[in-house]
């Protein structure tokens, strides 16, 4: 509908409508109820229907939000209509166990009949589909512009923002203090739900949860929730696939499909927060894709995540990880944003690094390290260099000495990561003693070192592996591979 027609329609309908009750004060998002930690890892992939929709359910189910208390009859009818529209099944944990009453005698364990895992459906990727923009991808200023275009007061923009980012509702109908004609107009323009029912979840005994999210065009992307004490980090994807082909990365093996829009990047956070047993406090852009190859959408998503009136993730709790895209590092220097930067090093010389990371041909180590030096000098921030240790390949003392030479002139620390097993890469992690010895040598050379404990190996936690294992499942079941509709 043209903007002028839309304005007239909204005004006419709003005039007919009964005067809206005073908008209720927005409530801060209610932290997710802690769930029982999984006891053992399950190899079964469990569909988590409408992962993202659960956050809406948690709001409406409680019935205690001020807005729902003050709802008019029409609004209640509307709320009944929306709540009955689609029942939201809670995500089954792959590892959940039944609680036994202490009074009841414990029955002897029955032999478990193996259940055949659900066969995944073949995927159809729709390249030409015209999708509405996602509401999660708009900044507060964008909402003000949309409201101005529709001749609406600017406080409507704030109301919409709070419904989306504080209450995290999943439908326009749930925004009870927004006039119905405006909700209808917004629903015509923007999608709220970023994901389809084709969403899967895996979890492990160390609490890591991996989500395989189905995009509206059929693409699938991954997000991983990594819990730590009373907080949790979510690892987010920035592209569907990746063009950089790093040797030990499962995503690189899948190839590049498309960039994710800002709404899909923020939508991963929303989906993860709806199933995470702990509050998500940190975001790392280390999932599928190279963040600097989708620079504008990633930076927009960061500004949305960082907004104080919204999801309020502190900039210092957001980390961008790059495989070494120098123009991206240079652009980030110019941004006035205090995010953390992490650079994948993985090899201490050009010959080995080019073998492991083809990006090194375009931006070899001297060029990359010069960009890193400029970044630390101009921003005053430290860079974390990721170094995946592979036995016999890059874990010898001479490799450690070269790493010292590279990193010592820069304000940087080295994060050592023992290799996670990847099917297509022949290599194993060194022994824990060898990893510690490598780290100690770096420390003696004056480098700050951390040794990352690999969590979530059993959910194929290296990026792209869940998608890859799903493709393998499709092949094994002789179901046709994804059809690309170009
Ligand atoms: S490691 Fe990152 S940049 Fe390299 S192929 Fe994988 S997703 Fe792409």
Q: How far is the CA of 189 from the centre of ligand 1 (A)?
A: 34
Ligand 1: atom nearest CA of 287 is: 7
The protein residue with its alpha carbon nearest to ligand 1, atom 4, reads 246
211 has pLDDT over 50 = yes
The protein residue with its alpha carbon nearest to ligand 1, atom 5, reads 252
Ligand 1 neighbours by CB, cut-off 6 Å: 242, 244-246, 249, 251-252, 288-290, 323, 463
Say if 21 falls within a structural domain.
no
Q: Which of 245, 250, 252 to mutate to test the pocket of ligand 1 (most atoms within 8 A of CB)?
A: 252
pLDDT (average), residues 237-252: 90
Q: Which of 293, 294, 323 to mutate to test the pocket of ligand 1 (most atoms within 8 A of CB)?
A: 323
91 has pLDDT over 60 = no
Say if 131 falls within a structural domain.
no
- Overall number of domains in the chain: 1
Give which of 192, 159, 180, 177 is closest to 53, Cα–Cα. Answer: 192
Q: How far is the CA of 65 from the centre of ligand 1 (A)?
A: 42
pLDDT of residue 200: 78
pLDDT of residue 53: 44
73 has pLDDT over 90 = no
Kindly indicate the confidence band of residue 123, based on its pLDDT and cuts at 50, 70 and 90. Answer: low
Kindly indicate the confidence band of residue 105, based on its pLDDT and cuts at 50, 70 and 90. Answer: low
Q: What DSSP string describes 309-376?
A: TTT---GGGEEEEESS-HHHHHHHHHS----EEEEE---SSHHHHHHH-THHHHS-HHHHHHHHHHHH
pLDDT of residue 4: 58
Identify whether the C-beta of residue 224 lies closer than 8 Å to the C-beta of residue 234: yes
pLDDT of residue 232: 92
Q: What DSSP string describes 222-240?
A: EEEEEEETTEEEEE--SEE
Kindly indicate the confidence band of residue 76, based on its pLDDT and cuts at 50, 70 and 90. Answer: very low
- Please write the tens of the pLDDT for every residue from 382-392: 999 999 999 99
Cα–Cα distances (Å) from 415 to 101, 385, 438, in that order, read: 46, 6, 11
- 370 is a catalytic site residue: no
- Its domain, for residue 427, covers 200-485
- 235 is a catalytic site residue: no
256-259 vs 239-241, strand pairing mode = antiparallel
DSSP assigned state of 460? T
445 has pLDDT over 50 = yes
How large is the C-alpha radius of gyration of the chain? 24
pLDDT of residue 455: 54
Say if 95 falls within a structural domain.
no
CA atoms within 13 A on the CB side of 388: 23
**pTM for this prediction:** 0.74
43 has pLDDT over 60 = no
pLDDT (average), residues 258-281: 94
Helix (H) or strand (E) segment spanning residue 474: helix 465-476
pLDDT (average), residues 291-316: 96
Say if 365 falls within a structural domain.
yes
200-203 vs 209-214, strand pairing mode = antiparallel
The values of phi and psi at residue 469, to 5°, are -70, -30
Give which of 439, 344, 325, 441 is closest to 383, Cα–Cα. Answer: 344
We report the CATH number of the domain holding residue 229 as 3.20.20.70
Kindly indicate the confidence band of residue 11, based on its pLDDT and cuts at 50, 70 and 90. Answer: low
pLDDT over 90, % of the chain: 54
Say if 114 falls within a structural domain.
no
Q: How far is the CA of 213 from the centre of ligand 1 (A)?
A: 19
Which of 147, 249, 372, 463 is the catalytic position?
A: 463
Ligand 1: atom nearest CA of 288 is: 7
């Amino acid at each position: 509908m043209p903007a002028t027609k839309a304005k007239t329609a909204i005004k006419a309908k709003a005039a007919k409508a009964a005067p809206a009750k005073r908008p209720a004060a927005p409530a801060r998002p209610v932290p997710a109820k802690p769930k029982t930690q999984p006891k053992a890892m399950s190899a079964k992939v469990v569909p988590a229907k409408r992962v993202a929709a659960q956050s809406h359910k948690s709001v409406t189910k409680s019935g205690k939000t001020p807005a729902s208390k003050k709802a008019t009859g029409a609004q209640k009818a509307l709320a009944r209509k929306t709540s009955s529209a689609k029942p939201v099944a809670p995500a089954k944990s792959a590892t959940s166990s039944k609680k036994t009453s202490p009074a009841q005698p414990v029955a002897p364990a029955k032999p478990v009949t193996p259940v055949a895992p659900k066969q995944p459906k073949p995927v159809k990727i729709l390249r030409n589909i015209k999708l509405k923009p996602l509401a999660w991808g708009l900044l507060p200023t964008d909402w003000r512009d949309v409201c101005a275009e529709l001749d609406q007061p600017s406080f409507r923009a704030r109301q919409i923002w709070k419904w989306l980012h504080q209450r995290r509702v999943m439908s326009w109908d749930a925004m009870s203090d927004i006039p119905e004609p405006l909700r209808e107009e917004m629903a015509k323009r923007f999608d709220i739900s970023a994901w389809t029912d084709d969403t899967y979840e895996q979890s492990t005994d160390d609490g890591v949860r991996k989500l395989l999210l189905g995009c509206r065009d059929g693409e699938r992307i991954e997000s991983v929730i990594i819990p730590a004490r009373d907080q949790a980090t979510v690892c987010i994807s920035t592209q569907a696939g990746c063009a950089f082909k790093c040797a030990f990365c499962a995503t690189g093996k899948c190839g590049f499909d498309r960039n994710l829009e800002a709404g899909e990047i923020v939508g991963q956070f929303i989906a993860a927060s709806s199933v995470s047993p702990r509050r998500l406090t940190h975001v790392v852009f280390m999932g599928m894709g190279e963040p600097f190859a989708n620079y504008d959408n990633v930076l927009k998503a960061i500004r949305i995540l960082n907004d104080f009136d919204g999801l309020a993730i502190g900039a210092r709790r957001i980390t961008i990880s790059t495989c070494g895209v120098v123009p991206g590092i240079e652009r980030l220097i110019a941004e006035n944003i205090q995010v953390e930067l992490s650079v994948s090093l993985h090899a201490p010389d050009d010959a080995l690094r080019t073998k492991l990371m083809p990006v090194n041909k375009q931006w070899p180590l001297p060029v990359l390290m010069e960009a890193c030096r400029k970044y630390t000098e101009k921003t005053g921030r430290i860079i974390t260099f990721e170094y995946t240790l592979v036995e016999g390949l890059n874990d010898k003392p001479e490799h450690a000495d070269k790493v010292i030479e590279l990193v010592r002139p820069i304000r940087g620390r080295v994060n050592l990561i023992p290799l996670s097993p990847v099917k297509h890469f022949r290599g194993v992690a060194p022994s824990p003693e060898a990893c510690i010895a490598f780290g100690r040598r770096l420390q003696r050379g004056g480098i700050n070192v951390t040794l990352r404990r690999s969590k979530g190996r059993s959910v194929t936690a290296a990026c792209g592996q869940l998608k890859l294992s799903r493709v393998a499942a499709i092949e094994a079941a002789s179901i046709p591979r994804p059809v690309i509709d170009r």
